[in-house]
Amino acid sequence: MTDMKPLLRLSSIGKQFGGLSALSDVSLHIRRGEIYGLIGPNGAGKTTLFNVITGLYQPSAGGFEFDGKKYQACKPHVLAKAGIARTFQNIRLFANLTALENVMIGRHVRTRAGVFGALLRDRATRSEEHAITERSRELLRYVGIEKPAQTLAKHLSYGEQRRLEIARALATDPLLLALDEPAAGMNATETESLKALLQTIPDRGITVLLIEHDVKLIMGLCDRVAVLDYGRKIAEGVPEDVRKDPAVIAAYLGSGDE
């Protein structure tokens, strides 16, 4: 955290769906190298915020700055190229492709071979293809699903699919990895091993933004946490402070005492 400029700075993001205001006036910043948690009750707007910063939705108000550049109304692939990678709450793998191919597609944005490269198979294309495969295998190994590399994504177990999504996102060489409920549907052991994996991601120079319902996971993993409720940010800070915040307790846990 020597670089004090935040990696991602959201300023007054708003998102309307018809009359419904899914996000209003959300401002936050994420520092380089931290694990930043985003929590909130169901329907609080966490995934909407994700979709805004990954370009799937265009914000109705406000904008954001990523790695020193302003982005407004950008397509998802532009933001992926800029260095924001994501996973999806409801897994969206390329189901009929193998695990390895899924990760290889993640390398697309950092590689360049075009149609002529494909047709001529020149030296540059072959060595790039080789590098893509090597890197993808390395990532599969990193997330711990090296063995089923040739299995179709849809035949992987649920936990493996979640990990494959992470590997695929990492393959885009992101600066910011945005994980939408990576532990959803996992049992305690799986969550624990996922946590161990996530903890090593900042060592690769990647900042993590994490949406999670599992409060224990968030509290144990995140450097800082923001809490959304009804599309507004109601608290932000280190996990210990946030969990004592009366507004959070009221919104998230529903009643007075913890």
Partner 1 sequence: MKLVRKSGVQLAALVITLLLLPFITDALLGRGWVRIADFAMLYIMLALGLNIVVGYAGLLDLGYIAFFAVGAYCYALTGSPHLALAFPMAFPDGVHLSFWIVLPLAALTAGSFGMLLGAPTLRLRGDYLAIVTLGFGEIIRIFLNNLNAPINLTNGPQGISRIDPVRVADVSLSATQNIFGIAFPSVHLYFYLFLAFTALVVIVSRRLERSRIGRAWMAIREDEIAASAMGLNTRNLKLLAFAMGAMFGGASGALFAGFQGFVSPESFSLMESIMVLCMVVLGGMGNIAGVILGGVLLAILPEVLRHSVVPLQQALFGKTVVDPESLRMLLFGTALIVMMLYRPAGLLPSRVRRRELGSDEAPESL
Task: Tell which positions 194-253 bind partner 1, by CB under 8 A.
Answer: none
Tell me which residue of 205, 207, 142 sits closest to 179, measured CA to CA.
207
Question: Beta-carbon neighbour count of residue 249 at 10 Å?
Answer: 17
Kindly give, in sequence order, each residue whose CB lies less than 8 Å from that of residue 205, ignoring residues fewer than 6 positions away.
Answer: 33, 175
Q: Are the C-beta atoms of residues 132 and 195 closer than 8 Å to each other?
A: no
Q: Is 92 near partner 1 (CB under 8 A)? A: yes
What's the first-to-final CA gap in the chain, in angstroms? 33
Q: Map the footprint of partner 1 across residues 50-79, applying CB under 8 A.
A: 54-56, 75-77
Q: Does residue number 11 form part of the binding site for partner 1 (CB under 8 A)?
A: no
Nearer to partner 1, 30 or 153 (CB): 153
Strand partners, 28: 10
For partner 1, give the closer residue by CB, 173 or 245: 173
Residue whose CB is less far from partner 1, 63 or 117: 117
Closest to 36 in 3D by CA, of 168, 229, 179:
179
Contact pattern for partner 1 over residues 119 through 138, marking x by CB under 8 A: x-x---x--xx--x------
Binding site for partner 1 (CB under 8 A): 54-56, 75-77, 80-81, 85-86, 88, 92-98, 101, 104-106, 108-109, 111, 113-115, 117-119, 121, 125, 128-129, 132, 147-148, 150-152, 154-155, 168-169, 171-172
